[in-house]
Amino acid sequence: MALRTSTSPVRTCIGCRRRDQASHLVRLVAVRGTDSAAEVAIDERGRLPGRGAWLHRSDDCLSLAVRRNAFGTALRDRGVAVRPQDLAENLGVIKSEGSAGSQDR
């Protein structure tokens, strides 16, 4: 299996629940604003504090994560605000033409 031969850390996508190398996923964190409301933010450098959630750059994975309310569960913050359109735009998601299993990641 290719995942075991790599030295890169392996993470699970909160959308499709597949394991993949961290370099193929994007880390998301819950960031608190001045009004103390938590919002999902992209952690491009992987350095923001707090619990992280990992997601493929795919519209299928994003929509699955939103539909299953996976952000609140993965980040352990049920009140976290998720804006799917903003996330899709900022992630630069890959539009898939088939199912989640047939995409190239």
Residue 63 resides in a domain: yes
Residue 73 resides in a domain: yes
CA atoms within 13 A on the CB side of 56: 23
CA atoms within 13 A on the CB side of 14: 22
Cα–Cα distance, 19 to 101 (Å, whole number) = 12
- CATH number of the domain at 71, please: 3.30.1230.10
Q: What is the pLDDT of residue 81?
A: 87
Residue 100 resides in a domain: no
Residue 78 resides in a domain: yes
Q: At 65, phi and psi to the nearest 5?
A: -65, -40
Residue 5 resides in a domain: no
Residue 68 resides in a domain: yes
Number of structural domains (the chain) is 1
Which residue spans within the chain are E strands per DSSP? Answer: 10-12, 19-21, 25-32, 38-42, 52-56
Q: What is the pLDDT of residue 4?
A: 58
Q: What is the pLDDT of residue 46?
A: 87
User: And the tokens for 45?
Assistant: 């450098």
In terms of residue numbers, what domain contains 30? 10-95
Residue 69 resides in a domain: yes
Residue 23 resides in a domain: yes
Contact between 28 and 40 under an 8 Å Cβ cutoff? The reply is yes
Q: At 23, phi and psi to the nearest 5?
A: -70, -15
Question: Mean pLDDT of residues grouped by 10 in the chain (105 residues)?
Answer: 70 98 95 84 91 95 95 91 89 62 47
pTM of the model: 0.79
